[in-house]
């Protein structure tokens, strides 16, 4: 693959001293010509709608888990701005390679949230068609999807396509060997790839300070010769603007970008986790004050784009959507057990046909 063997100027690769923030915690916007937003009022309301939707469906998913309807669920609460702001910057042809906490990104890409919850319910291992929404299946083994994104981007480059690949990953994922290899491959091959790291401060119980000695995760980028951008991940507009610039950089043939969105996981790692064992209420309170949704709502109300009526309508629509997700999941039947053999290979082998027949016999024995 043709590569640009020149070395970038290191000064162009380092993140800014402070996370890029356009919307402060009070919802006051300070525009920055280096990070243009270029969103109309309709798009601002759409961002808001998606964030409210993500929060409502997320809350519903936790409820469903508590009621025994999901085996486990990984909440995105607190990360709505990071996920929706970044995904909103994607072009339709771009592909997302998510981890398992990306309900917000999925919503932006038009994936049916019930399809994601079917995975947590255990209906199937994967329920949506990745190509339809350009949203790959959720990846549970940490950081492994970053290599798929890098490889996809290498393919896009070879093909002369203007598609970018975006790997969504967490702070802990940057410690994995696959993250290193993905950063390196994407950079060596100038692949149109963005590594979007949501630094939500914890990998289950282990704080980010134990993951790395790097000044920030964004600083890691320089070691791969790619720019590292660092943004306030609780600022939906700042995250959008940074991601927009990162995608343009990649799409223009300049190679990958590492984006670190500084945010916080407000809920437990998953519903199976007990965060009181490793973090205190005071910390939670500090982050609650930086809530991405209320910050954005304050801004929208100040701008006159959202008022009580709009907020109420958005809330009702989101609640209705969450209810329809609930209806799709609640007591949903599991997949057809005979399908277990259908997709292991393009054509089942003789061994699998024999085993399918065996299970079929077992099933008909149960019926008798």
Q: Which is nearer to other proteins, 173 or 266 (CB)?
A: 173
Of 154 and 261, the one with the shorter C-beta distance to other proteins is 154
Q: DSSP state, 29?
A: B
Whole-angstrom distance, CA of residue 53 vs CA of residue 111: 13
Strands (DSSP E) along the chain, which ranges? 95-97, 165-170, 193-199, 202-203, 206-207, 228-232, 257-262
What are 261's two structure tokens? Answer: 């969105």
Closest C-alpha among 261, 358, 116 to residue 108: 116
In the bound complex, what is the minimum distance in angstroms from residue 155's beta carbon to other proteins?
3
- Residues lying near other proteins in the complex (CB under 8 A): 1-2, 95, 97, 124-127, 129-131, 136-137, 141, 144, 146-156, 158-159, 165, 177-178, 181-182, 184-185, 188, 339, 342-346, 349-351
What is the C-alpha separation between 333 and 335, in angstroms, rounded? 7
Q: Give dist(CA 142, CA 139) in Å, integer.
A: 7
For strand 95-97 and strand 165-170, is the pairing parallel, antiparallel, or unpaired? parallel
Other residues' Cβ atoms within 10 Å of the Cβ of residue 142:
19
CB of 193 vs other proteins, minimal distance in Å: 9
Least spacing, CB of residue 348 vs other proteins, in Å: 9
Q: Which is nearer to other proteins, 110 or 215 (CB)?
A: 110
* Residue 32 zone, left/alpha/beta (φ > 0; ψ -120 to 50; rest): beta
Tell me the helices (H) and strands (E) count for the chain, helix number first.
12, 7
Nearer of residues 51 and 146 to other proteins, judged by Cβ: 146
Query: How near is the Cβ of 191 to other proteins at its closest, in Å?
Result: 9
Instruction: DSSP letter for 332, please.
Output: P
CB of 326 to other proteins, least distance (A): 23
Residue whose CB is less far from other proteins, 8 or 155: 155
- Which residues are known catalytic residues? 265, 269, 278
Residue 86 near residue 231 (C-beta atoms within 8 A): no
């Amino acid at each position: 693959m043709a590569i640009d063997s020149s070395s970038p100027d290191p000064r162009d690769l380092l993140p800014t001293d402070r996370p890029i923030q356009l919307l402060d915690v009070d919802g006051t916007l300070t525009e920055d010509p280096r990070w243009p937003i270029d969103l109309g009022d309709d798009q601002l309301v759409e961002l808001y709608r998606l964030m409210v939707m993500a929060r409502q469906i997320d809350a519903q998913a936790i409820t469903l888990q508590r009621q025994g309807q999901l085996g486990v669920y990984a909440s995105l609460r607190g990360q709505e701005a990071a996920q929706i702001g970044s995904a909103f910057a994607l072009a339709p042809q771009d592909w997302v390679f998510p981890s398992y906490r990306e309900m917000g990104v999925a919503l932006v890409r038009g994936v049916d949230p019930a399809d994601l919850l079917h995975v947590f319910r255990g209906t199937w291992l994967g329920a949506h068609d990745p190509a339809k929404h350009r949203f790959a299946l959720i990846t549970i083994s940490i950081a492994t999807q970053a290599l798929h994104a890098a490889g996809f981007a290498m393919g896009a480059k070879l093909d002369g396509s203007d598609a970018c690949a975006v790997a969504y990953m967490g702070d802990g994922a940057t410690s994995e060997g696959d993250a290193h290899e993905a950063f390196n491959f994407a950079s060596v091959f100038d692949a149109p790839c963005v590594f979007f790291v949501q630094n939500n401060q914890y990998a289950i119980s282990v704080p980010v300070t134990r993951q790395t000695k790097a000044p920030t995760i964004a600083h890691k980028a320089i070691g791969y010769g790619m720019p590292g951008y660092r943004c306030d991940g609780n600022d939906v507009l700042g995250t959008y603007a940074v991601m927009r610039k990162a995608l343009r950089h990649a799409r223009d043939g300049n190679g990958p970008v590492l984006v670190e969105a500084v945010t916080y996981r407000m809920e437990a790692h998953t519903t199976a986790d007990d965060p009181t064992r490793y973090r205190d209420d005071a910390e939670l309170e500090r982050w609650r004050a930086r809530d991405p949704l209320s910050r954005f709502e304050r801004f929208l109300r100040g701008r006159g784009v959202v008022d009580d009526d709009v907020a109420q309508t958005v809330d009702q629509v989101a609640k209705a959507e969450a209810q329809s997700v609930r209806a799709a999941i609640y007591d949903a039947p599991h997949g057809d057990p005979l399908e277990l053999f259908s997709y292991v290979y393009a054509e089942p082998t003789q061994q699998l046909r024999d085993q399918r027949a065996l299970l079929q016999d077992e099933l008909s024995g149960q019926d008798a």
